[in-house]
Amino acid sequence: MRGERGLHELYRDDPERADALVFGRRGLLKGAGLTAMAAVVGAAIPFARHMPAGLIPAALAEETDWVGLLRADGLSVLNDRPINAETPAHLLDDDVTPSRLHFVRNNGVMPEAADAGSWTLTIDGEVARPTTFTVAELRRRFKVVEMALQIECGGNGRYGFDPPARGNQWTTGAIGNSSWTGVRYRDVLHAAGIKPGAVYTGHYSADTHPSGDPDKVVISRGIPLEKAMRDNTLIAFAMNGQAIPMTHGAPLRVVSPGWPGSTSQKWLNRIWVRDRVHDGRKMTGMSYRVPARPVAPGADVAKEDMAIIEAMPVKSLITRPKTGAQARLGKRLVVRGHAWAGDRSVRAVDITIDFGATWRAASLEPAPNPGSWQTWTADIPFPQAGYYEVWARATDDHGVAQPMVVPGWNPRGYLNNSCHRIAVTVT
């Protein structure tokens, strides 16, 4: 929590007392940090005795610091270890998402340090000249671009599936649209010389497996070469004009807008250019895949019938007012939000206050650049006092619209792009 004396601070100022507090008695740590510590200490006291005074356990350093900050900023923490946190809809009202309000999805343990000065990115595999770049070299050698780009977790909306799908139960807030600065992914690949056989990329990063096994890859996803070649696929080193925060992949990450967030690998240190579809961890099996053909809810789907998710479907959020708002009869209510559509643009956003019986068009702004979400606004009159739900429905430039109900059930609960709604009471 902000305002409380942090674990780091305590260890810095008075390491012996910190150790006494952490290992000797409970009271300093709260919640999962405490229980994790209690469990570890209880079963492994010799480790505690032999730990040098003042050495912050890595697991605790992660939990106490970042989770507290995320909670203080208003995010909902779904899991504190590994960290997974989403943003309530009303906190996503900004056209460009502030870094502190961008959702966090970690598969493993964040690196302990991410020094931009010594960090390197290696490009190897199906390239003529395997090359290692420092962050400074990337900046110097390639055109630096900045653009607003949306990243959405493939499992955003998983909470809506019935029967429930396994995994973090994201509701609506695993989406963000920050301003990313970096170099084009394609420029970096071209510098290494793409061989004719290259078809896909594979990403590797410096986060570590929750089990602590240093040889185990946490996650290694990638993108087809065609996606890597686009104008708005970046290797980014800044978020909203600042060095990328640790929780968002410091100091270097992929930004692959419109595709499952897992393709935007954080803490990036290697791109392996492949002559086949990348088969890294969480590329195969059931992860980030949906059935190639529609299946009944709850169906047991064979791995070979699952297909990799590419661009995500059209979606929107109502970010103002917050659900539960009060409106005055005779006064129009201003409703606002954002809409996005994978690799496509959004053509229209419509609003209903009568559960879809009638719709009215919202005013929709163009994206500042392809890959950004678009902002929409509507002002709504209400016919009489009472309880209403305001629903928003976006339609993409191919005429494909959001469903009002939860779409195709799938075993891992991806791609729920059903309409968002808020409650409004008119008095």
Partner 1 sequence: MSWRAAAGAALCAGLFASGAAASEPEDYDGLPAGPGQEEVYFLCIPCHSLAIVTQQRLSRRVWDEVLDWMVEEQAMPELEPADRALILDYLATHYTPDTPR
Distance, CA of 420 to CA of 339 (rounded, Å):
11
Determine the straight-line distance between the first and last CA of the chain, rounded to whole angstroms. 38
Q: Output the smallest distance, CB 162 to partner 1, in A.
A: 8
DSSP state of 20: I
Q: Output the smallest distance, CB 164 to partner 1, in A.
A: 4
Q: Output the smallest distance, CB 216 to partner 1, in A.
A: 6
Q: Which is nearer to partner 1, 229 or 299 (CB)?
A: 299
In sequence order, which residues have a C-beta less than 8 Å from that of residue 170 and are 6 or more positions away? 78, 86, 153, 155, 156, 157, 158, 159
Q: Output the smallest distance, CB 312 to partner 1, in A.
A: 22
Residues of the shown chain interacting with partner 1 in the complex, contacts defined by CB under 8 A: 26, 32, 34-36, 38-44, 47, 51, 55, 57-59, 77-82, 162-164, 166, 168-169, 209-214, 216, 281, 285, 298, 300
Instruction: Tell me if 279 sits within 8 A of 308, measured CB to CB.
Output: no
Q: Which is nearer to partner 1, 55 or 329 (CB)?
A: 55
Q: Which is nearer to partner 1, 5 or 166 (CB)?
A: 166
Compute the chain's Rg from CA coordinates: 23
Q: Which is nearer to partner 1, 171 or 377 (CB)?
A: 171
Distance, CA of 187 to CA of 195 (rounded, Å):
14
Which phi-psi region, left, alpha or beta, contains residue 304 (left: φ > 0; alpha: ψ -120 to 50)? alpha
Distance, CA of 252 to CA of 265 (rounded, Å):
9
Instruction: Tell me if 90 sits within 8 A of 420, measured CB to CB.
Output: no
Q: Output the smallest distance, CB 211 to partner 1, in A.
A: 4
Q: Which is nearer to partner 1, 40 or 145 (CB)?
A: 40
Q: Which is nearer to partner 1, 26 or 190 (CB)?
A: 26
Instruction: Tell me if 340 sits within 8 A of 258, measured CB to CB.
Output: yes
Q: Output the smallest distance, CB 86 to partner 1, in A.
A: 12
Q: Which is nearer to partner 1, 86 or 126 (CB)?
A: 86
Distance, CA of 90 to CA of 59 (rounded, Å):
31
Q: Output the smallest distance, CB 56 to partner 1, in A.
A: 10
